[in-house]
A and B are shown apart, each in its own frame.
Chain A
Amino acid sequence: MNNQLNVSLSPHIHGRETTEKLMFGVVIALLPALVASIIFFGAGAIITTATAVISCIVFEYLIQKFILCKPISITDGSALVTGLLLALNLPSNIPAYMVIIGSLIAIGVAKMTFGGLGNNPFNPALVGRVFLLISFPSQMTTWPVPAGFATGYADAVTGATPLAVIKEGVKNGESVSELMQAIPSTVELLLGKLGGSIGEVSALALLIGFIYLLYKKIITWHIPVSVIGSLALFTSILWVFNPDIYAGPAFHILSGGVLLGAIFMATDYVTSPMNSKAMILYGCGIGLLTAIIRIWGAYPEGVSFAILIMNAFVPLMNAYIKPKRFGEEIKNG
């Protein structure tokens, strides 16, 4: 035999999973939501999504090539996912230059300054979004009303989101039950007839994506279920306490970005905890903070802030919440 044998430590076989496959799995899971948004928002959704995805990938390439001088890793799909998630968190009629600025912040500031994939403490897409929200508050809070596929990019009719309707109404002393008349019904919320960012339009499409992610074992149930569960629990308590000024749990879950956040943003591998106990705590934190920001905070929507705040606690959770190790506690049957 003339060829030299390879020698390495065990294991000598490797599973079929790769980072690329995981990332593209997320992209596939996002497709229903993307399709739904195109149906509801028309050209604006396509333009915004394409701008965000392309600019994220280009920024990643440029930064790796010219600033970090590291090998180019845009093929791993992480920039694609970041771009897609950023777009899904934006209104469909936002000017393209803002999307590009958001992408630059997401990739350049939130991801690459920390060393690229795997090292960023905060979810890049959310950092981009929040940066835009703070910098361009008016554009970021005038949401186009879903008017169908034929809607043009610039001529979309804008209106308030259900959350904003409730928030403003309660502030003006109206009761929730009256306000509920002004906003879409729960079924409509589920199917996607609410004003809002591109991705949060159809709860059903997001849930299809969730099932796909679970089926492919890309994420576990812990984070989404604990986010939604804690939000539902907290808002139910308030609702039972005083239904006049607090909206019910179904409304809170289906309106706004809770589902998008819980399923796709909070579960981001890099910025979420690494064991199931910590994941549940993290999810509950997000749910609670979302409810608090929505009900008492200045903004009508709080998912992005809640996730970013909990991102900051992840290193602490990883350091102090440990899985119960095998054989740690003696229990003999």
Chain B
Amino acid sequence: MNNWKRQHPTAIFIGFISNLKELIFTVIAVLIFGQSSQAGGTMFYTIFFSLILVVSLGNGIIKWVTFRYQLAEDELKIKQGLIFRKRRYIRKERIQSIDLNEKLLQRLFRLVEVRIETAGGGSEPEFRIVALKKQEALEIKNELLHKNPAEKTSEMEETGESLPMEEKSVSKTTSDQPYQWKLTGFRLFITAITSSGIGIAATFVAAITSQVQQFIPDAFYEQFIGWLLHSSILFIGFWVVVILFIGWFITLISTLLKYGMFQIEKQLDEIHITRGVLERRNLTLSATRITSVRIVQNILRQPFGFVSVYVESAGGGRKEEDLSTILIPLCKRKEVTQILENVLPEYAVDMVYTPLPKESVRRYIVRLIFPSVIIAGLLTYFLSYGWISFLLPIMAAGYGFWQYVDAGIGKNESLLWIRSRAIARTEVLIPRKRIQAMTTTQTFLQKFDLLFSVHVSIITSIIGKTFTLRHISKEQSEECYLWYSYEETENNRED
């Protein structure tokens, strides 16, 4: 009975490498900011960093030695820690989802990372076993995720604990034909091209190029800068273009790798998302925990009618995706409803929007013109040719008008949908029963035009999130209010 197992020894290596990855950022930061080129500096850093390396390696080994797990009948037992020993028993009923991730390093060694998500938040809703053989991981997954206890015990008796799960998974799939959606190669390419991460990547490239100067001999550098200053604005423009292009290229490749082989599979109440070329990532979402759907169309995708779809869910959600999970990286706007019908039928509605009242045009436009006039004024004052920047308020006005045109609201008995534009055009679909609280506000400026704003709050993985639509009419705000109110006799409430 007492068969505690350790992870695959590669866990040490994987832990070490991921430490190294973090360390590299520290090294870069030190190189960039700590430009103390005194003698002995390099010596100090070398010793300092190698010490860190040794410590982290030792730490990894200790972790591997002390981390042990055991798969019991209805739970996963885990022991860890050298000085502070911790035992954790993860009970089967508490488990929300188990995902097997094949990150790059794991993949090299044909291992998987097991990510177990448990219910009820707590201090550690998520639990990872970094490196396991795929076989073992599947065993854990099948043991702990099998929903029907009666069926499970009978099967247990037949097959024993260590038998593979083929039978079980087969019985699962036959019971309910799963729906599948895949991102085609062409679409993947479009996703990568039109990804809006370019800005970030370009900034990164620019930051790197600005640091390159330290590695270039001073004489050459001075000469180069002198030449650059003499050369025309066109030439600087050329560099900007080059940097943007490199940034775009990096985004392109990373998006291709990230969303390559993207696939959704809907089975019963669970949505399985698998993605990634080098790193295979696996994510299970429970449809019952999804609190809203967002349809986002960035400017690059707008001309082609492409959108991406995100879901917020109570629990889950990756950090890098703004606490929400990408459900569909790219599809045509008109396909969304049809896909949602299969994946999240609750959200599959024809969204009809009522536009905002005419009065709110002014508010949208003024809101953007005001800061841009200030900026343009400052530029005119301080720069020759600064007056050109007075094009800015004109553009701002146009943009404000665009925001007004895109803004809209609509609802049926159970769903509210809001469309607005910050930079990308975003549509949010929120079920009434997922709204935690609704607020309408009216600023003193809105008062002149009898306008309101509406805010709805929902739960996301960590904290609440509030969606806002500005400058709706009085009737629209009252409608929202009545729609959300849980009082039956809203209209004639009198004591």
Partners in one complex: no
